[in-house]
Amino acid sequence: MGPRLRKFALSVHLTCSVGWIGAVLAYLALGGRAAISHDAQAIRSSWTAMELIGWYVIVPLALTSLSTGLVMALGTKWGLLRHYWVLISLGLTVSATAVLLLHMPTVSATAELVQRMDGDGLEELGGDLLHPGIGLIVLVVVQTLNLYKPPGMTPYGWRKQQRESAAR
């Protein structure tokens, strides 16, 4: 990958990755509001907004972050299978995206439910804090791994490095 394309791909990747974290923070704030509110309209609006942010912001950012991360891994010296930090980052990103995609239908069902319910019982639904809270921790771990790039090559990466050194 040429330097201009690499910089463009990196810019898209960083923007989507940081945007994913920001969107999860917004979702978490709405989930907290729904959890502590005693106002039926506040609970309804929080769940509606959580569904919208989830499907139209978080899911696209997660998928774009995952795909651009793969492009960066495959198109740069880091490689996809050479360094443990890349594999761990990929595994956590794939896991976070999978959990997100599996969780969003539940958010949609709850958002639909709160629109149909009268004020009684809405407080018992609470908010959505567990999934986005754990997701936020995972995303910060991934960002930290990608920033610090801790040393440690996989056996495959070590062999590849030895072959490249011998070829020079």
What is the spatial distance between Cα 88 and Cα 63, in angstroms, rounded to a whole number? 17
What average pLDDT is seen over the chain? 94
Say whether pLDDT at 14 is over 80.
yes
Question: Is 127 in contact with 34 (CB distance < 8 Å)?
Answer: yes
Q: Per residue in 19-59, pLDDT tens? A: 999 999 999 999 999 999 999 999 999 999 999 999 999 99
CB 127 within 8 A of CB 35: yes
pTM passes above 0.85: yes
Question: Does the structure show a pLDDT above 90 at 62?
Answer: yes
> Where does the pLDDT of residue 4 fall: very low under 50, low under 70, confident under 90, or very high at 90 and above?
very high
| 148 — pLDDT class (breaks 50, 70, 90) | very high
| Domain residue extents for the chain | 3-167
- Give pLDDT, residue 78: 87
| DSSP count for the chain of H helices, then E strands | 7, 0
What number of other Cβ atoms are within 10 A of residue 16's Cβ? 20
Which pLDDT value is given to residue 19? 98
What is the per-residue pLDDT for 59?
98
Displacement of CA 31 from its chain's centroid (Å): 17
Q: Is the pLDDT of residue 129 over 80?
A: yes
